[in-house]
Homo-oligomer: A and B are copies of this chain.
């Protein structure tokens, strides 16, 4: 049994957006009791992370770390068609990944108590993002 749905998100610059509830709802509606849930961002400058979901400072610090690691507008970069956040957004996406696959147990993504699924927008301006959720398994 395979169920597939698309989530559309409008981001407002570099930020993290909690997708956990929307994805859990898709899994709940799918009737899959045991299996996997694949979440996939169809873009090269936004990614998915499973991150601590209680203290927003964790995501703030993640952003601080990544901003320092991958410099916007680094003069070493050749590619900057869409501005200083263009190439850095591609690198940030590669370092974190656009796909995640989670187990489904008793009709839910079996996330740990502190795990939240976040879309990480790496561009600094508003973007329209498409996320595909595929739930596979048995009733």
Contact = CB atoms under 8 A, between A and B. Distances in A.
Interface string A83-124: 000010011011111111111110000111011000000000
Interface in A40-91: 40-45, 49-52, 55, 57-58, 60-62, 64-65, 68-70, 74, 76-79, 81, 87, 90-91
B87 A61 contact: yes
- State the oligomeric state as a number of copies: 3
Interface residues of A, number: 61
Secondary structure type dominating chain A contacts: mixed
A76 B94 CA distance: 24
A11 interface: no
A49 B114 CA distance: 21
Given A60-B78, A78-B57, A4 B52 contact: no
Given A2-B137, A4-B103, A38-B101, 19 more contacts: A2-B138, A36-B136, A38-B102, A42-B110, A42-B112, A44-B51, A44-B112, A50-B99, A58-B90, A60-B78, A61-B79, A61-B91, A69-B69, A99-B100, A99-B101, A101-B101, A103-B134, A104-B134, A110-B132
Interface of A: 1-2, 4, 34-36, 38, 40-45, 49-52, 55, 57-58, 60-62, 64-65, 68-70, 74, 76-79, 81, 87, 90-91, 93-105, 110-112, 114-115, 130, 132, 134, 136-138
